[in-house]
Structure 1
Amino acid sequence: MHEDKPDVFLYGTLGCHLCDEAMILGKSSLPSGVIINKVDIVEDETLLSSMATRIPVMKMGDVELNWPFERQDIQRVWRQKASKRRYLR
């Protein structure tokens, strides 16, 4: 990922329809070119135990958005994390 952009992660599981919705929402809410890294929590016991009842979870920097979240939530966190970067919308 380009070092000027905050990392964006979407935690979920395979077959999670809410996770699919969250990915679509994230892609439409963030500036073009931002990559949302998908993380399957089933592959990590610690993530599974801490996030199993909260997925999908979108994480940008140290901020986690627990479902349900909306476009304005994603954009607010992005602006906070990218406020001093040139990738602001």
Structure 2
Amino acid sequence: MAKVVLYHTDGCHLCEQAQALLQQHPDIEAIELRDIIDQPQWLEAYQIRIPVLALAHNPQAELGWPFDQQAISELIKQYGPN
């Protein structure tokens, strides 16, 4: 089971769609939500790319929107669930 990070911001309908997709994924055990407004480096890195999914144990392993269940599974398989 994987722990993931979702970079998002309030009022972002794509972020809400991404979160719902993650909540349905059978290989995800925990989702950490990081609002890009909370850290200047997150805002700089993701302001025009959100939502962005990253693996908690490997933040460089990330997916930018749009992604689907298959892409999430491939990311987890490629980089491992922990």
> Per the shorter chain, which TM-score range?
0.7 to 0.9
1:37 aligns to what?
A: 32
CA, structure 1 residues 6+29, in 2 after alignment: closer, same or farther (shift >3 Å)? closer
Instruction: Give aligned-pair identity as a percent.
Output: 34
TM-score between the two structures when normalised by the length of structure 1: 0.78
Structure 2: stretches of 5+ with no match in the other structure: none
- What's the secondary structure of 1:65's corresponding residue? strand
Would you say 1:56 and 2:54 are equivalent positions? Answer: no
2:73 aligns to what?
A: 75
> How many residues were matched structurally?
79
Would you say 1:7 and 2:6 are equivalent positions? Answer: no
Which of 1 and 2 has greater Rg? Answer: 1
TM-score between the two structures when normalised by the length of structure 2: 0.84
Structure 1: stretches of 5+ with no match in the other structure: none
Partners of 1:40 and 1:25 in 2: how far apart? 18
| Alpha carbons 1:10, 1:36 under 8 Å: kept | yes
